[in-house]
């Protein structure tokens, strides 16, 4: 029960659960003065829950939070409480008002009084902006500043409110390299001033560039807290994905092999494909009956690649070919007509049509392909829906139940049924097994292998490497929004994959 010297924040034994899910279990987190501390973990690890507990958005079930030299545990019940205690957060989406000036954004919502003293506000703002080397004018409209500057104005506001703990939640997701460097400069400046910074991010390189310590969470539990210099990249990746990196313990999974027939053009090819979602232009190809995979940490750009292929994001460059013929995909229906199907990563926002029934969700894509004037008859729709409900063992009260009342896993199965029904030549599955029980996960993997053996090409994206090893014959590795490697054959081993994901110096 020692209160460490100079720690600005100590979270002890934090528990938080939601109906049916234990989001945080006995998690500890410590932050010192002048320390930049990365908080990392894959999806469902509990990072955002921990942050929300700290900032008062959620109330913890158990555990204590100590701030600075406080003897008693802090009571944080609302974002206002957190702010008053010196905890400031800068979110991924800019939570400032684009129509107000820089200075206004820094000072609005603070302070007492009826009147607005423009002169003082602008002068004070200029002072802070100068001291933090942010190139923006106090009277400039925020929307005319670049996103990086906007991000920094948000930080300047936090700093001016005398924060002891600054939480940066994925601040670099929308910034380019130059802007990231500027941000790091600001962070180091704050570090020198004694501010403790919690840096939540997916970008490995950035963590190693600027952080002192790393805390890794997995499945709601604390994996450990490490000094940066003591944790090589590969080990970090291993800890995040839950693998023990030990040559002896390397489990040899059955490696998928694919016999390439070079004479037949690939089912799908892309050259220098680029979308407006911020991934570097990439080349891609897949052959008939092949299962390939895109792997990498969350946020590495896997989904963005396949969305570009499907036309879900706006394509701004590159060329695609289908079976050797040049085609144009500018929107999803083009891809669908060319026999491509896409199961999106975020099933709630992009996958399900909540209020429609299970049956309607299953037949939707196939229906669109069939055409406006050719609706499925009631009998046909029922038959198809029932067929797939049985095939994928979808647990639902009936085919008429609105899909939003199904469990996540069953919703996923409905979306899968939808795309299988279109009998695609090329099926893209983005995290198809997320939120599904183990038994069904295996079923889906077996299904993928079966479909491939019948001639379907499949791209399988997953954060779980063993899944991909069991199904894919070729793995494309992504890191920090670009393709960094391709593995097949002998290269398909856990250790090789993690090396490639981690990149950089292995020691």
Q: Which of 380, 375, 427 is nearest to 399 (CA)?
A: 380
Q: Which is nearer to another protein, 158 or 231 (CB)?
A: 158
The residue count for binding another protein (CB under 8 A) is 71
Distance CA 411, CA 432 (A): 11
Asked if 232 interacts with another protein (CB under 8 A), we say: no
Q: Residue 463's CB: how many other CB atoms inside 10 A?
A: 20
Among positions 131, 276, 398, 453, the unique one binding another protein when judged by CB under 8 A: 276
Kindly tell me which residue out of 140, 382, 488, 495 binds another protein, with binding defined by CB under 8 A.
140
Site for another protein, residues 436 to 495, rule: CB under 8 A: 481
Integer CA distances (angstroms), 294 to 221, 472, 474, 482, in order: 27, 9, 9, 11
Angle between helical axes of 358-370 and 408-421 (0-180°, round to 10): 20
Among 336-344, 392-400, 451-459, 496-504, which window interacts with another protein (CB under 8 A)?
336-344
In the list 9, 11, 85, 145, the residue contacting another protein (rule: CB under 8 A) is 145
Q: Tokens at residue 363, please? A: 């037949």
State which residue, 121 or 231, has the beta carbon closest to another protein.
Answer: 121
Please state, in angstroms and rounded to a whole number, the distance separating the CA atoms of residues 430 and 433: 9
Sequence-distant (6+) residues with CB within 8 A of 451 are: 427, 458
**CA 467 and chain centroid, separation:** 19
* Least distance in angstroms from the C-beta of 460 to another protein: 18
Question: Least CB distance from residue 336 to another protein, whole Å?
Answer: 5
Q: Any bridge partners for residue 415, and if so which?
A: none
Q: Which of 36, 159, 352, 447 binds another protein (CB under 8 A)?
A: 352
Please count the residues of the chain: 507
- Residue 219: closest CA among 60, 41, 59: 41
In angstroms, give the least distance from the CB of 22 to another protein.
Answer: 26
Q: Supply the DSSP symbol for 279.
A: P
Site for another protein in 359-378 (CB under 8 A): 360, 364-365, 367-369, 371-373, 375
The answer to the question of residue 3 lying near another protein (CB under 8 A) is no
Under rule CB under 8 A, which residues in 188-207 are in contact with another protein?
none
Q: What is the dihedral of CA 309, 315, 316, 321, to 10 degrees?
A: 40
In the complex, the smallest distance separating the C-beta of residue 96 from another protein, rounded to whole angstroms, is 6
Shortest distance in whole angstroms from residue 142 CB to another protein: 9
Residue of 147, 209, 316, 319 that binds another protein (CB under 8 A)? 147
Question: In angstroms, rounded to a whole number, what is the distance separating the alpha carbons of residues 481 and 280?
Answer: 7
Q: What angle, 0 to 180 degrees and rounded to 10, lies between the N-to-C axes of helices 147-160 and 177-192?
A: 10
Q: Which of residues 385-424 bind another protein (CB under 8 A)?
A: 418
Q: Return the structure tokens found at 405.
A: 């009342």
Closest separation between CB of residue 216 and another protein, Å? 26
- Per CB under 8 A, 332 contacts another protein: yes
For the segment 73-132, give every residue that binds another protein (CB under 8 A): 79-80, 83, 91, 94-101, 104-105, 108-110, 113-116, 118
Comparing CB distances to another protein, the nearer of 60 and 418 is: 418
Tokens found for residue 184: 């790091």
């Amino acid at each position: 029960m020692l209160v460490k010297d100079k720690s600005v924040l100590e979270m002890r034994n934090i528990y938080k659960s939601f109906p049916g899910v234990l989001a945080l279990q006995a998690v500890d987190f410590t932050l010192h003065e002048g320390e930049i501390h990365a908080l990392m973990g894959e999806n469902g690890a509990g990072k955002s829950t921990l942050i929300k507990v700290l900032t008062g958005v959620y109330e913890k079930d158990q555990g204590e939070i100590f701030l600075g030299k406080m003897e008693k545990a802090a009571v944080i019940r609302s974002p206002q409480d957190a702010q008053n205690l010196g905890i400031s957060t800068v979110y991924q989406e800019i939570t400032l008002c684009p129509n107000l000036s820089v200075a206004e954004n820094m000072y609005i919502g603070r302070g007492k009084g009826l009147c607005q003293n423009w002169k003082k506000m602008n002068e004070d703002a200029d002072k802070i902006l100068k001291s933090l080397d942010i190139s923006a004018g106090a009277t400039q409209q925020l929307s005319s500043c670049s996103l990086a500057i906007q991000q920094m104005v948000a930080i300047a506001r936090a700093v001016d409110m005398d924060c002891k703990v600054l939480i940066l939640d994925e601040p670099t997701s929308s910034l380019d390299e130059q802007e990231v460097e500027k941000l790091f400069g600001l962070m180091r400046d704050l570090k020198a001033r004694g501010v403790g910074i919690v840096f939540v991010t997916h970008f490995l390189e950035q963590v190693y560039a600027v952080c002192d310590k790393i805390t890794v969470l997995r499945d709601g539990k604390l994996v450990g807290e490490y000094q940066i210099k003591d944790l090589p990249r590969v080990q970090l990746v291993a800890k995040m994905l839950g693998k023990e990196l030990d040559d002896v313990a390397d489990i040899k999974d059955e490696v998928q092999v694919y016999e390439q027939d070079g004479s037949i053009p690939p089912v799908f090819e892309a050259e220098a494909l680029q979308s407006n979602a911020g991934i570097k232009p990439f080349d891609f190809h897949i052959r008939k009956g092949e299962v390939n995979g895109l792997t990498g940490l969350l946020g590495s750009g896997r989904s963005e690649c396949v969305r570009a292929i499907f036309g879900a994001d706006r394509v701004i460059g590159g060329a695609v070919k289908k079976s050797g013929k040049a085609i144009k995909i500018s929107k999803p229906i083009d891809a669908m007509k060319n026999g491509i199907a896409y199961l999106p990563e975020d099933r709630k926002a992009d996958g399900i049509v909540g209020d429609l029934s299970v049956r309607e969700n299953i037949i939707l894509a196939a229906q669109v392909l069939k055409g406006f004037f050719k609706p499925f008859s009631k009998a046909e729709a029922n038959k198809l829906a029932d067929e797939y409900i049985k095939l994928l063992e979808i647990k639902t009260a009936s085919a008429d139940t609105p899909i939003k009342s199904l469990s996540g896993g069953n919703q996923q199965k409905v979306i899968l049924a939808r795309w299988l029904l279109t009998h695609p030549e090329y099926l893209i599955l983005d995290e198809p097994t997320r939120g599904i029980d183990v038994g069904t996960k295996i079923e889906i993997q077996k299904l993928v292998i079966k479909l491939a053996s019948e001639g379907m090409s499949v791209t399988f994206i997953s954060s779980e490497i063993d899944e991909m090893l069991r199904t894919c014959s070729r793995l494309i590795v992504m890191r920090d929004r670009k393709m960094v490697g391709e593995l097949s054959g002998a290269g398909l081993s856990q250790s090789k994959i993690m090396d490639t994901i981690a990149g950089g110096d292995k020691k």
